Each structure stands twice: as structure tokens, then as C-alpha cells.
Amino acid sequence: MKIYNTLTKRKEEFVPITPGEVKMYVCGPTVYNLIHIGNARPMIVFDTVRRYFEHKGYKVNYVSNFTDVDDKIIKKAIEEGVDSTVISERYIAECKKDMESLNVKPATTHPQATQEICGMLDMIQELIDKGHAYAAEDGTVYFRVRSFKEYGKLSHKNLDDLEGGKRSLLVSGEAQKEDPFDFVLWKPKKDGEPYWESPWCKGRPGWHIECSVMSKKYLGEEIDIHAGGEDLVFPHHENEIAQSEAANGKTFARYWMHNAFLNIDNKKMSKSAGNFFTVRDIVAKYDPQVVRFFMLSAHYRSPLNFSDELMEAAKNGLDRIRTAAANLNFLLEKAGAGEATEEEKKLLKEAAGFAVKFDEAMDDDFNTADAIAAIFELVKFANTNAGADNSAAYIKALLEEIKELADVCGLIVEKKEEMLDEDVEALIAERQAARKAKNFARADEIRDELLERGIILEDTREGVKWKRA
């Protein structure tokens, strides 16, 4: 399996630190508002990376943080006249709802910055002790960038070049900094802000330190993959590397993965341009599964353009897979029991070739565009080679293959349609008859089937009552 590593600027063979395990950290959102459609791209992309590792049999420890202390959160809390935790907890809950709607699995751990202050104080102290950080007179602690010789290795920036020509990239230089590049690890509180006690001043952490601390706590000093949007490469990930490697004396992450931007109608998304959309805005208009399909229709390192036209194309693409799955389900209901014939076994071997193609695409730096193309080929094959005279075993095998590959992409291809009242009543009547005939196996089967469709039965004195879950 090959992964493009931002650190080395090339595709490298994936070799896990521990065989059979993947330790990955994905920088999560700052929770001051509903997440926007740009936030959804890394969530969907790296969830798919995780699903593919799991599909290959790896055990994945997936950590993704919520930044819950930040200027924007504090500003909103002041506007609403509430504690900043009210804001952060509200938007963490909303973010989780959006993730669920997009079929993004919950992380193994979702740490929150405000719960990890102790670890941050420890790491900052360690950096001071090792000469990599210093406290200014007002209690601000800065990371001494020039003390970390490899600074710039991720973003491929050279400090001297930065200083020469690109002043705009310099971190704002207060007079108390030893060097304009130095960045904040801890800062004094301002009036009305949340704060914590520390050896340097009452205050709060800078943004970058949280990820170094949480990654170490939940995954260890060395991890396999660190990921996020490409806007995080500099300075955020560069600073994380400096902090972690200066403190731990070990390589922080082996592979650095970054997804490209999402544009709206070929323009950068911004509130001022009036093309800013939350995930909530989009899923009010489109099935969230279409959003997911759309996000995976391009390679994650290619910029992706969001437009109604492309969303329609994504909808049609997903429909093709869903229609094929629905047809197979229909055939399966009609097909009698029965083993696959020799002829069918040959066809299934051919069909398995599409799963191999799918894996090859994913093995090549998670090329989801080509992987989806392999699903389409399989769908076309199923449409051509499955009919009313095929055995149930054969139809089922084709259906399972489509479902499995779609599931690696987090796509749900079977739409469970809501049962009509009369269908529920009919099954209940059949169950009653089965019980009367002492066919309890069939009666239980019907109960389970109904439960699967969200219908709950209750046996009462007055007879069977039912409700929707």
C-alpha cells in the first residue's frame, strides 16, 4: 500500500510501526459554529482511509480532537452571554450529528483541548527544561523555533528564505519574542476569558500544543499517520512536529497526509463572497450519502469543486449503484434456495476481479475515484449477468460484493424503505397464524424481520400492538 507523504513529497510504501495496527491522528474542527462543507472533506476522506485499513484487516486507533478553547469560541460566548463551554459543547454535539449523517464513524477517541491542560503544562515545562521554549516577562511562553534544526521540513520552507522575501508568513512579532518566528505555547488570560493556573501565568494554551499532547497521550510518542487539510501544513503541523520531536526526541509521525481544498463554483468559499455553506445547508438539499459520494469522486489530493451540476452527477452515480443493489435484492427474493452452478462460479471469479481492482486503486494512495470506477464496473457486470434464472447463492454473492466495496467508501447502497401499515399488519397476522400452528421458529423470524425494519411488537392482553422505533 502506498501513501503520498507530504514530508518527503513522494509516495511511500506503508509500513506500520506495529504490524497489523495503524495509529492515526486527524486534526479536528474548532467548535464555535456548525461545521461547513469544507470541514466535511477531511472527515470523509480520512474516515475512508480508516475504513480501508480496517477492510485490509488492520486494527485502527483513530484519534481526532475538538479544539474547544479558542478566540472565536470566546467571542461567541461573550455575544451570547454564556460560558464558553456552553458554546463548545453545543457545537461538538452538532458536529457529531453531522458526522453521523455523513456516515463518518466516531473516532476511537475524541479528546478535547480543555480536558488535556495538565498534559500541555507538562510538555511546555519539558520544552522549557530542554531549552526549546522560554517564558517572557508577562508569562507568555514561546517555542524557540531556531532551537529545532529541522523546522520547515514538512512545509519545505527555509527560515532564511522566509525572512528574506516572504515577511507576510512571519508569525506576528511582539517585542518580547527572541525571534519573530517563535510561536506561542501559553498565553496570559484577558478579562472574561477562561483560564487555567500555570507556573508562568493564569492563562490558556496556544493552539498547536494540544495536538502534540493528545497524540502522545492516546497514540504514543511515535505514530503512523498524521492527517488534516492542506491549510494545516504550515504553520500548524510544522509547529506540532517541532514541539513533539523537540520534547520526545523521536520522529512524531511517519506519514503526513493532507487533503486539498474544496471550492464552491470554482471560487474559494467565504462568508463575504456569499458562497459559504454548512453541512446542514447542503444536506437539507441533498442526501448526505450523495455528499459523501461526491467527496470521494475525486482524489483527496486534487482540489474539488462543489457545484449543483457536480452534485447532480454524484446523485446519478450513487443511484446507479443503488439501483443495481435493489435489482439484486428483488432477484434474491424471487430466487429459490440453491447453490451456485459451475457456470455461476466462473462468473463470480470474474466478478472478484473488480474487488481486486478496487483494492489496487485504494492501495495507490487511496485513489477513491478509481476505486469507485471499479464499483461501477462491478455494477455493470451484475446488471448484465444476473437474472431471474440465477441461483440465490450467486445473486447474494454479487450483492454482498457491491455492498462490501461501497461500505469501504462509507456508502450505504441499500435503501430500507419504510414499511406500509398494511404490510406490517399482514406480517403480524402471519405471525399470529404461525404461533397458532405452533410454528414458533417462523413467528420469531417475523418478529426479527419487523424489528430490522424498525417495527417493535408488543404482545398484550388485547392482542398484538406495534409501533415504529
Minimum distance from residue 47 beta carbon to Zn ion (Å): 17
Residue 366 near residue 358, CB atoms below 8 Å: no
Minimum distance from residue 64 beta carbon to Zn ion (Å): 9
Minimum distance from residue 225 beta carbon to Zn ion (Å): 13
Question: Is 240 annotated in some ligand binding site?
Answer: yes
Question: Is 55 annotated in some ligand binding site?
Answer: no
Minimum distance from residue 428 beta carbon to Zn ion (Å): 53
Nearer to Zn ion, 207 or 354 (CB): 207
Residue 399: C-alpha distances to residues 106, 351, 466, 469 (Å): 27, 11, 31, 27
Residues 6+ apart with CB under 8 A from 374: 354, 355, 357, 358, 361, 405
Residue 347 near residue 391, CB atoms below 8 Å: no
Question: Is 409 annotated in some ligand binding site?
Answer: no
Minimum distance from residue 212 beta carbon to Zn ion (Å): 8
Minimum distance from residue 236 beta carbon to Zn ion (Å): 6
Residue 194 and residue 10: Cα distance in Å, rounded? 43
Nearer to Zn ion, 99 or 113 (CB): 113
Nearer to Zn ion, 218 or 394 (CB): 218
Cell of 363: 492501495
Nearest CA-CA partner of 291 in 280, 302, 276, 303: 280
Question: Is 201 annotated in some ligand binding site?
Answer: no
Residue 318 and residue 257: Cα distance in Å, rounded? 27
Nearer to Zn ion, 111 or 152 (CB): 111
Question: Is 27 annotated in some ligand binding site?
Answer: yes
Enumerate binding residues for Zn ion (CB under 5 A). 27, 211
Position of cell 469544507? 38
Nearer to Zn ion, 152 or 229 (CB): 229
Nearer to Zn ion, 65 or 367 (CB): 65
Phi-psi domain of 454 (left: phi exceeds 0; alpha: psi -120 through 50; beta: other): left
Cell of 205: 494554551
Alpha helices in 102-144 (DSSP H): 117-129
Residues annotated in a binding site for ATP: 271
Residues annotated in a binding site for Zn(2+): 27, 211, 236, 240
